[in-house]
Structures are given as C-alpha cells and as structure tokens.
Homo-oligomer: A and B are copies of this chain.
Amino acid sequence: MEQIDAVLAGNRRVLARTISEVEDGGPDARALLGALYPHTGRAHVVGITGAPGTGKSTLVNALARAYRTAGQTVGVIAVDPTSPFTGGALLGDRVRMRDLAGDPGVFIRSMATRGSLGGLARATADVVLILDAAGFERVLVETVGAGQAEVDIASAAHTTIVVEAPDMGDVQAFKAGVLEIADLFAVNKADREGADRTVMALQAMQGAEPLEGTHKRSNVQTSFDPEKPGPQADGSWLVPIVRTVAPRGEGVEKLREWVELHAAYLHETGQRSQRETTQAKSAVMHILREQLLAALLARLPGGTGQLAAVVGAVARRELDPYAAASRLMSQ
C-alpha cells in the first residue's frame, strides 16, 4: 500500500493524515494499523505526567531537544484527558512548533478527549504505534492533569517520568496515586525555594510502607538509599529523583541519561518483553470487546428495533440489565 510505504519512509504529510484517519476510526483505520504493526516495537516510549503548573510541557520540549542533540529522532504526543476542546491542543501545538520547528527528526502531535477515557488511552496507544513504525526512536507521551487517566495512558509507556515542582502544596503524585507508576521523578523548577523539601518528601515516600489497599510494585524497594538509585543488586529499580530547570535545560541531559539507563534495565531484566505482552493482551481484549458487541448487534434477528425494545424494558424496570444482556446473547 502506497500510504504505508510513505509512512514507513517518514513522509510527514502522509504520517499526519494517517494519524488523523486512525484517530477518527475511519474505515481504513484497522487495515492501516494492521499493515504498520509488523514495523513497530523498536521505539522506546516515555510517558511524562504530573499536575498542571509543574512546567511539564517545557520539560518535554527540553527533553526532545536533548534527544536531538544526542542524535536520536523523537515523536511527541501531548494528551489532554481533561479537555474535550481541540482549541487548547492546537494552541499547544503552535507554541511547541516555534521551539522545534523545521527539524525533520521531530514530530509533534496533540490529542484531546474524544468520547471515553478508555477510548483516549487506546487512541494514544495507536498513535504511538504509528510513530514507532515511522521510525521515531523515542516517543514522548505527555499527559496533562493527574489521576487515573494518566495511569491508564502511562500503561502504554516503557518508562514513566512523574514531574513535580516545589511549593505546589502536597507532593501531587501522592494525592493522585501516580507514585506507583513512576520510574523516574523529575523535580522541575528546582531553582525555586522548597525544591529540597519536595525531593525529601519524594525520598520519604519511597521509604514508606505502602498504604493499606494500594498495590505495591514488586520492583520498588521499601528500604530507600537515595545515594544509589537505579538498578539494584537484587534486580529491582530504585526510582531516581532528578532536579531540572527546564527553560535553562539544567538537569535535562541527566534526565535523558536516566531514561536510557531505565530502557537498558528493562531489556536486561526481561521486563520490556513482559510489558509488551501486557500491552498486547490489553489491545486484543479491547478490540475483542468492541467487535464481539458489534457482531452480536449485527446478527440480532430483530435488528436495532429489538435492541431498542429490550433497552426500553430495562428503562421501565420490567427487565434488569443483566437479564437483558442474557436475553440478547441467547438470540
């Protein structure tokens, strides 16, 4: 297919169009992803998340520049799960473009909420696949906001950076429950007062026993030695804390080096292929749910009228939703 060849060759115009087609879920979306998929699996995917006000976007831009300086190509996906407004996303694009414009080794794309969050996480994963197939060696996925949406989207990343800033009140990661997903902490705006407190709060958090009811990552140690983060003798990973001042580029190369070290760690411990398997399973399950539902609805003897009748009976409380589902499935 001509379009596929153009994407694989890195034709930017065709690449942008292909991403739009897949985002919109058009008739060719499935065939396009199927044809591109064998060419994926090479990019290292980095998720960057954190609360508004942490200077996350500036840090992502600085990290992209650091990768360019190091000679690697970079795709950037900025996801805003809190906003259905495309206006904001497009504005963000323009600000970014001014910074990294004209560099063929960088491709930037913004995405806003369309429909459900589950749909957004899936669409983000699809755009990652396309940039991966197009040959971008590193793909940075930036999510705005904090919460479960970020956790879901981060599941498509190999390395997740949680960004904090001083004087934001509580350390945000704690509140949002994103502590567990961090492979790296960046304390951005580290030239401000309070940076030491933020670093110490993160260190204390890593040393603390997990709260009741949280899941504990097997590769996070409970006895924390801040002197020796990164890969440990027992095979675990102690989350490094990197201080950055994004507008001046301070600490950004160090952050990039930690990402690369984490990438190597994932390869060596076999965790990268474990993550690939988890992501493959999640993708197959998602597609199965949607296609099984579509197939059932298509084969109902009474068509959409039959569905409407059953839904109406549920709305009138004559039938409970589980009984309704069983009835439709037995057709």
Give the residues in chain B near A87, CB-CB below 8 Å: 211-213
Check B148–A323 contact: CB distance below 8 A.
Answer: no
Closest to A287 in B: B325
Across the interface, do A320 and B37 meet the contact criterion of CB distance under 8 Å? yes
Query: A290 contacts the other chain (Cβ, under 8 Å)?
Result: yes
Q: Give the residues from 219 to 238 in chain A that come closer than 8 angstroms, CB to CB, to chain B.
A: none
Q: How far is the CA of A93 from the CA of B35 in the complex (A)?
A: 52
Q: A261 in the interface, Cβ–Cβ < 8 Å?
A: no
Docked CA distance A175–B51 (Å):
14
Question: Within 8 Å CB of A146, what residues of B?
Answer: 82
B-facing mask of A49-93, CB < 8 A → 1, else 0?
000000000000000000000000000000001111111000000
How many copies the complex holds: the figure is: 2
Chain B residues with CB under 8 A of A212? 86-87
A310 an interface residue at 8 Å Cβ cutoff?
yes
The answer, yes or no, to whether A1 is at the interface (CB within 8 Å) is no
A38 to B280, alpha carbons, bound, how many Å?
Answer: 40
Within 8 Å by CB of A116, from B145, B152, B176, lies: B152
Seen from chain A, the residues whose Cβ lies within 8 Å of a Cβ on chain B are: 30, 33-34, 37-38, 40-41, 81-87, 112-113, 116-118, 120, 145-149, 152, 175-177, 211-215, 273, 276-277, 279-281, 283-285, 287-293, 295-296, 310-312, 314-315, 317-318, 320-326, 328-329
Q: Can you name 18 A-B residue pairings with CB atoms under 8 Å?
A: A33-B320, A37-B320, A81-B148, A82-B175, A82-B176, A113-B148, A116-B152, A117-B118, A117-B149, A117-B152, A273-B315, A280-B324, A283-B314, A284-B324, A284-B328, A285-B293, A287-B321, A289-B292
